Amino acid sequence: MSDFKVLKKDGKARLGRVETAHGGFDTPAFMPVGTAATVKAMRPESVAQTGAQIILANTYHLMLRPGAERIETLGGLHTFMNWHGPILTDSGGFQVMSLSDLRKMTEKGVTFCSHIDGSKHELTPERSMDIQRMLDADIAMAFDECTPFPATLEQANESMQLSMRWATRSKDAFVERDGYGLFGIVQGGVYKELREQSADALKNIGFDGYALGGLAVGEGQEAMFDVLDYAPALLPEDKPRYLMGVGKPDDLVGAVLRGVDMFDCVLPTRSGRTSQAFTRMGTVNLRNARHADDPRPLDEHCGCPACTDYSRAYLHHLVKTGEILGAMLLTWHNLHYYQELMAGLRSAIAGGELAEFAAQFAAAQAAGDIEQL
C-alpha cells in the first residue's frame, strides 16, 4: 500500500506527500506521460531535471509492445526504461474504449484488435491487474469504462455501474504489497447523483487513492469545474485524489483550488512537438514569423535549457526546418514550466497564499494573451 499524508490545507487545496516502493512525490503533482515507456523527446534524466517526481506509463500500449511479460523478465518497467522513481500505470480502459470500431465489450471485459497489427486481445479487470503487476507499477489503476461525452443519464448510469463491478474485480485481483497501491476511478459523467453513487461504491470497496475519470473528454472547462466543485469532497480526506488526463495550465490551477492532488496529460509533450510553448505569460507558437529575428529567450524567467541557452529566433529556425532538437527543447521547456507551476502551487498552499497565487497566474496569462506572444 502506498502512503499519503496531508501536510497543509488552504481552502479546499491540499499540500501532501505520497510514499511508494520507489520513493515519494509531493502533491499537488503533475505526472509526465511516458506512453510507451518513454516520455517522448526526453531522456529519463532530463525528465527528472524538470522537477518531475513521478511519471505515467500506458498499460494498453505496453501490453501490445513489447509485452508485459517481456518487461517483467527484463526487471520491470523501472529498470527497463531507466526511471527509478514512482510510476503510475493507467488500466488500459481509456485506450481500449477509444477503439470503437475494433472492440467488443461484455460484462467480462473487452475484446479488441491491436491498432499495430490487427491481432486479437482480451483485457479484463483481472488481466489489467496482472499486467500492471508485471510492469511493477507503484500505483495501478482499476479497470473501468471511460464514459463518453455526451451521454444521457441512462447511458452514464449503465457505464458507471459496469465500472463499479469491474472495480470490485480489480480490487480482488490486485496483489497487495508494501509500497504499492491501487486507485479506484469515479465515473458518472456530468451527473452529480451518479458521481455520488460511484464515490460511495468505491469507498465501500476501499482503495489507496481515488481518481476522477470521464472528464476532459469534450465537456469543456466550465462543466468540468462544475463537477470538481463537489466531486473531490465526496472522497476520503486521507487519500490522494487524481484528475485523469488534465490538462491545460489553467485547468490545473482551477482543479487544485477545488481539492485535486494529482494530474497527467500529454499536452506539454505533444505541444512541444508541435511548436507550442507554455509560459507564465501565456502560450507561444514558435512557428510564427515574428520570432525569426527575436534574440530574446523564450521566457526570461525560466531556467530550462531552451530558455537559458537559446533565442526565440533559433527555436523558430529549428521548428521551421523540422529539426529534432526543436521538439526536444520545447518539450523540456513545457515540462519544466508545468513542474514550476506545481511547485508554485505547493509553495502557495504551504504559505496560505493560494488565492493570491491563482489571481497573479490568471492576470499574467491574460496579459500574455493580449500581447499575443
Cell 511547485: give the residue: 343
Residue 295 makes CB contacts below 8 A (sequence gap 6+) with 311, 312, 313
Contact criterion met (CB below 8 Å) for 150 and 223: no
* Residue appearing with cell numbers 488552504: 10
Sign of CA dihedral 79, 80, 83, 85: negative
SS3 235: coil
| Helix pair 354-371, 249-257: axis angle to 10 deg | 160
CA angle 298, 303, 305 (to 5 degrees): 70
CB 95 within 8 A of CB 104: no
By three-state DSSP, how is residue 34 classified? strand
In the DSSP assignment, the letter for residue 219 is S
Burial class (CB in 10 A: 0-12, 13-18, 19+), 23: middle
CA-CA distance, 40 to 58, in Å (whole number)? 13
Q: Which residues are catalytically annotated?
A: 90, 264
Q: Give the three cell numbers for residue 357.
A: 497565487
